[in-house]
Amino acid sequence: MTASELAAFAALLADRTRAAFCLALLDGRAWTAGELARHARVAPSTASEHLGRLVEGGLLAEERQGRHRYVRLADARVAQLVEDLAAFTGRDPGPPRSLADASARSAMARGRTCYDHLAGRLGIVVTDAMTARGLLRQDAGFALTGSGLGWFRDLGVPLAPGGRRPVARGCLDWTERRPHLAGLAGAELCRHAFDAGWCVRIGTERAVRVTPAGERALGELLGIDAEALG
């Protein structure tokens, strides 16, 4: 890659509207162009122009269903890049602008999805509990132990290593400033948490809430106290 190519790629995110689109898409879902336009508070024509650049640059993937155009982050590598950049900024966002803003920030910090895995305080608590129980190692990068692989099998979520995606990796959490579990294991655990009703999405952002069933399950499986999830 040349310096010009790197600069051109970096320019894709050097725009507030395009950055807002990518941050919104960290929820792992596909959004329509209209939804993203409303989210970023720009005109549909402006959103279409920016989305075209992001798709052409490889950051977003486009899907069409009938007359609707959907976009999502191209893959987990793009999600990692966006989350890492968000963590790298390290800036204090300043005081909340309203009670709704304060509530949204609190919910996002308490628990959210980072593309396809759990993040925020919830992600950190789960990661720490897995490490304390010998299911996950963090001493030389992130790696599931044999007990960890067995834990996933017992959960009914067997992992199949061998693809391009690592089984486990650390993802720096931009609110907690510590790594949480990502990779295949993080994605499968998050999927199971939603499928089993342990977590539910709240609001229109990436925030999630642990349900009473989730509190019981995480307590039984990982010894997590419900108060740590609040």
Average confidence (pLDDT) over 21-31: 88
The model's confidence at residue 27, banded by pLDDT at 50, 70 and 90, is confident
Tell me where in the chain the CATH 1.10.10.10 domain(s) lie. 3-74
The model's confidence at residue 119, banded by pLDDT at 50, 70 and 90, is very high
Tell whether the model's pLDDT for residue 100 goes beyond 60: no
Q: What is the model's pLDDT at position 83?
A: 80
Average confidence (pLDDT) over 68-73: 88
Topology of domain 3-74, per CATH?
Answer: Arc Repressor Mutant, subunit A (1.10.10)
Q: What is the model's pLDDT at position 13?
A: 92
CA distance 116 to 113: 6
Q: What is the model's pLDDT at position 41?
A: 92
Average confidence (pLDDT) over 27-54: 92
The model's confidence at residue 107, banded by pLDDT at 50, 70 and 90, is confident
Contacts 24+ apart (CB under 8 A), 39-42: 40/16, 42/17
